[in-house]
């Protein structure tokens, strides 16, 4: 059991507004960007436990068991066209009745035909489906003639049972993110509920007394851009965002906000550096948190951090991701630390990092990796203007973030482009 924050001696002075000594040291060694991303993923440990959810509530979770077909698909021989089910070579004697989708037809005798709708089960004994536009009822005889060229081949315009899958076939592996497409497939394959991993619960703490929540920036104050940006992104990478709140620039209040949070992952914005009111390092030290990542060799975003918090009362591990306050730096911290951690906790499988060709030389940083907003064009990844750490203008037009190593990326060379998190 960890001591409560009030049982610890605060290192902050009475008014809580002086720089905590020794925190956010710009000289501390930064972790290589790739290593930081891997470490964030590894620090998730095994995924959160499996739960069962009704289909609509499974959206955004990851499959905890392979999606196996509960039936053949299609489940019966199905007409692919509106027309007639026919038995053997024509002409055919048409029956008076017809078969609609959703009905169970009786068998069809040789030389006969029955009207059939797209999606209806093909009667036993039928050899093919003659499209409506190819069939003609002969005046006088009343027989159904085939007006298409050549003989109708057996199986024509019939979707055979099991064409897409057989019962018990694995349709999707464990760890697949449940998207709307997956819900559609699961429903088609017979599922009402899915076994998925529990989603990590996230609380978003937005720090900075200078931030406004509405209106035009004024009197030295700026709008909170990260609350509106990050909450949908965190949901989009599989988290259940239960809270988003402002925390004043005060060590004791910050420490209490982190301590009181019951979330699996606390995500903070701002206060990662060593400014006069940057209290994150001090708060973490007082809470007994273990820093797993404390600054990364990446621009923007180098003061980002990842910490292991003391476990929850029920023993659940808890983490904190500290995103820098500069908005594009916070975005860099999100894709580097928050996304891999949350996807790991939620049990999501990682796709291969997408690589593409650089349409132009991508500007580099002399020592650190750069994460650069780029647009995907026919020529490849094209850098966007307005990519400063405090800017969101380039990002708003971007398709992804190019990972530019210190050596740079020449025009025509390949480069990893990280997808931006989907909106949730
Ligand atoms: N002496 C040094 N100063 C700074 C360094 C350094 O190495 N040495 N690093 C710079 C870098 S890089 C970054 S990034 C920032 C990180 O600072 P913090 O995480 O402590 O963030 P704040 O100081 O609270 O804010 C920085 C900046 O961002 C604005 N901000 C904060 N939150 C939001 C928000 N939710 N929406 C919009 N804008 C936000 C804030 O007003 C500041 O302008 O430190 C540099 N300093
Ligand atoms: O790296 Mo800071 O994170 O440039 O804005």
Quick: pLDDT tens for 193-203.
999 999 999 99
Ligand 1 geometric centre to CA of 331 (Å): 13
Do 260 and 323 share a domain, yes or no? yes
Using CA atoms, how far apart are residues 237 and 417, in angstroms rounded to an integer?
17
Using CA atoms, how far apart are residues 160 and 332, in angstroms rounded to an integer?
50
* Bridge partners for 244 per DSSP: 204
Confidence class for position 28, pLDDT limits 50, 70, 90: low
The stretch 354-374 carries a mean pLDDT of 96
| pLDDT given for residue 11 in this prediction | 34
**Into how many domains does the chain fold?**
4
| pLDDT given for residue 351 in this prediction | 85
Do 305 and 381 share a domain, yes or no? no
Give every CB contact of residue 288 below 8 A, 6+ residues apart in sequence. 2, 3, 8, 310
Is residue 424 assigned to a domain?
no
The stretch 294-309 carries a mean pLDDT of 98
| pLDDT given for residue 39 in this prediction | 98
Instruction: Ligand 2, residue 390: give the atom nearest the CA.
Output: 5
Ligand 1 geometric centre to CA of 390 (Å): 8
This complex has an ipTM of 0.98
- What percent of the chain stands above pLDDT 70? 93
Do 212 and 281 share a domain, yes or no? yes
Maximum mean pLDDT: which of 24-28, 204-208, 313-317:
204-208
| For the CA of 273, the nearest ligand | 1
Closest to 65 (Cα-Cα) out of 151, 160, 193, 180 = 193
Q: Is the CB of 80 under 6 A from ligand 1?
A: no
Ligand 1 geometric centre to CA of 239 (Å): 25
Q: Is the CB of 211 under 6 A from ligand 1?
A: yes
Residue 280 has pLDDT above 50, yes or no: yes
| pLDDT given for residue 9 in this prediction | 31
Strands (DSSP E) found in 80-142:
83-86, 93-99, 112-116, 128-131, 135-137
Ligand 1 geometric centre to CA of 324 (Å): 6
The stretch 123-143 carries a mean pLDDT of 97
Lowest mean pLDDT among 143-147, 315-319, 352-356: 352-356
Which one of 303, 370, 372 would you pick to mutate in the ligand 2 pocket, going by the greatest count of ligand atoms within 8 A of its CB?
303
Which one of 27, 205, 248, 273 would you pick to mutate in the ligand 1 pocket, going by the greatest count of ligand atoms within 8 A of its CB?
273
Ligand 1 geometric centre to CA of 399 (Å): 25
| pLDDT given for residue 27 in this prediction | 55
Do 101 and 82 share a domain, yes or no? yes
Ligand 2 geometric centre to CA of 295 (Å): 10
Do 180 and 56 share a domain, yes or no? yes
Question: In 10 A of CB 139, how many CB atoms?
Answer: 7
Q: Is the CB of 273 under 6 A from ligand 1?
A: yes
Do 212 and 317 share a domain, yes or no? yes
User: What CATH number does the domain containing 98 carry?
Assistant: 2.170.190.11
The stretch 49-70 carries a mean pLDDT of 98
Q: Is the CB of 391 under 6 A from ligand 1?
A: no
Confidence class for position 150, pLDDT limits 50, 70, 90: confident
Using CA atoms, how far apart are residues 48 and 193, in angstroms rounded to an integer?
18
User: What CATH number does the domain containing 280 carry?
Assistant: 3.40.980.10
Confidence class for position 3, pLDDT limits 50, 70, 90: very low
Q: Is the CB of 269 under 6 A from ligand 1?
A: yes
Is residue 350 assigned to a domain?
no
For the record, the structure tokens of 364 come out as 């580099």
The stretch 268-295 carries a mean pLDDT of 97
Is residue 407 assigned to a domain?
yes
Ligand 2 environment, Cβ below 6 A = 299-303, 324, 326, 329, 389
Is residue 307 assigned to a domain?
yes
Which one of 275, 323, 326, 390 would you pick to mutate in the ligand 2 pocket, going by the greatest count of ligand atoms within 8 A of its CB?
326
Angle, CA of 166, 168 and 173, to the nearest 5°: 110
Q: Tell me the pTM.
A: 0.90
Which one of 300, 324, 393 would you pick to mutate in the ligand 1 pocket, going by the greatest count of ligand atoms within 8 A of its CB?
324
| pLDDT given for residue 353 in this prediction | 86
User: What CATH number does the domain containing 398 carry?
Assistant: 2.40.340
Ligand 1 geometric centre to CA of 396 (Å): 20
Is residue 221 assigned to a domain?
yes
Instruction: Ligand 1, residue 302: give the atom nearest the CA.
Output: 12
Is residue 179 assigned to a domain?
yes
Closest to 35 (Cα-Cα) out of 336, 322, 308, 276 = 336
Give every CB contact of residue 105 below 8 A, 6+ residues apart in sequence. 85, 99, 114, 116, 120, 121, 122, 123
Ligand 1 geometric centre to CA of 143 (Å): 83
Buried b or exposed e, range 65-87, using 16+ CB within 10 angstroms? eebebebbbbbebbbebbbbbbb
Do 212 and 296 share a domain, yes or no? yes
Q: Which residue would you say has higher pLDDT here, 135 or 17?
A: 135
Do 148 and 179 share a domain, yes or no? no
Instruction: Ligand 1, residue 389: give the atom nearest the CA.
Output: 14
Q: Kindly give the residue spans of alpha helices, DSSP state H, lying in 173-272.
A: 180-188, 226-236, 251-260
Lowest mean pLDDT among 19-28, 60-69, 168-177, 276-285: 19-28
| pLDDT given for residue 1 in this prediction | 34
Q: What digits encode the pLDDT tens for the residues 94-123? A: 999 999 999 999 999 999 999 999 999 999
Strands (DSSP E) found in 17-86:
31-32, 50-54, 67-68, 78-79, 83-86
| For the CA of 389, the nearest ligand | 2
Is residue 301 assigned to a domain?
yes
Do 15 and 68 share a domain, yes or no? no
The stretch 143-154 carries a mean pLDDT of 94
Do 379 and 401 share a domain, yes or no? yes
What burial class does residue 130 get, using C-beta atoms within 10 Å of its C-beta: 0-12 exposed, 13-18 middle, 19+ buried? buried
Ligand 1 geometric centre to CA of 313 (Å): 33
Q: What does pLDDT average to over the chain?
A: 93
Provide, for the chain, the percentages of residues in helix, strand and coil under a 3-state DSSP scheme, each rounded to the nearest 5.
20, 30, 50
Domain limits at 182? 51-72+164-196
Using CA atoms, how far apart are residues 91 and 145, in angstroms rounded to an integer?
5
Do 382 and 285 share a domain, yes or no? no
Instruction: Ligand 2, residue 302: give the atom nearest the CA.
Output: 1
Confidence class for position 26, pLDDT limits 50, 70, 90: low
| pLDDT given for residue 356 in this prediction | 96
Instruction: Ligand 1, residue 299: give the atom nearest the CA.
Output: 12
Do 247 and 277 share a domain, yes or no? yes
Atom 5 of ligand 1: nearest residue by CA position: 273
């Amino acid at each position: 059991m960890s001591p409560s924050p009030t049982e610890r001696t605060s290192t902050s002075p009475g008014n809580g507004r002086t720089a905590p000594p020794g925190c956010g040291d710009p000289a501390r060694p930064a972790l290589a960007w790739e290593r930081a991303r891997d470490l964030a993923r590894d620090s998730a440990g095994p995924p959160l436990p499996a739960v069962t959810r009704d289909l609509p509530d499974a959206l955004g979770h990851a499959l905890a068991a392979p999606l196996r077909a509960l039936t053949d698909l299609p489940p019966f021989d199905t007409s692919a066209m509106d027309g007639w089910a026919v038995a053997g070579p024509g002409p055919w004697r048409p029956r008076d009745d017809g078969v609609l989708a959703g009905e169970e037809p009786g068998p069809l005798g040789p030389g006969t035909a029955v009207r059939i709708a797209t999606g209806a089960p093909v009667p036993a004994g039928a050899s093919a489906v003659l499209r409506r536009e190819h069939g003609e009822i002969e005046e006088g005889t009343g027989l159904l003639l085939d007006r298409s060229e050549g003989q109708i081949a057996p199986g024509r315009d019939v979707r055979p049972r099991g064409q897409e899958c057989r019962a018990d076939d694995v349709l999707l592996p464990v760890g697949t993110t449940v998207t709307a497409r997956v819900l559609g497939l699961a429903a088609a394959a017979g599922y009402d509920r899915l076994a998925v991993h529990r989603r990590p619960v996230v609380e978003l703490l937005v720090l900075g007394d200078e931030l406004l929540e509405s209106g035009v920036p004024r009197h030295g104050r700026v709008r909170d851009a990260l609350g509106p940006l990050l909450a949908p992104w965190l949901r989009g990478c599989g988290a259940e965002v239960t809270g988003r709140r402002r925390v004043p620039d005060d060590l004791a209040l910050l420490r209490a906000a982190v301590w009181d949070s019951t979330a699996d992952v606390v995500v903070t914005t701002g206060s990662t550096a060593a400014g006069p009111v940057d209290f994150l390092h001090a708060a973490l030290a007082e809470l007994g948190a273990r820093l797993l990542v404390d600054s990364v060799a990446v621009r923007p975003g180098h003061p980002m951090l990842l910490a292991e918090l003391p476990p929850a009362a029920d023993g659940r591990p808890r983490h904190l991701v500290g995103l820098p306050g500069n908005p594009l730096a916070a975005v860099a911290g999100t894709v580097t630390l928050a996304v891999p951690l949350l996807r790991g906790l939620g049990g999501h499988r990682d796709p291969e990092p997408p690589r593409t060709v650089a349409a132009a030389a991508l500007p580099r940083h002399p020592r650190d990796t750069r994460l650069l907003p780029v647009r995907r064009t026919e020529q490849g990844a094209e850098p966007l203007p307005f990519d400063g750490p405090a800017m969101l203008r380039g990002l708003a037009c971007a398709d992804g973030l190019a990972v530019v190593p210190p050596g740079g990326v020449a025009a025509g060379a390949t480069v990893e482009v990280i997808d931006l998190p989907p909106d949730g």
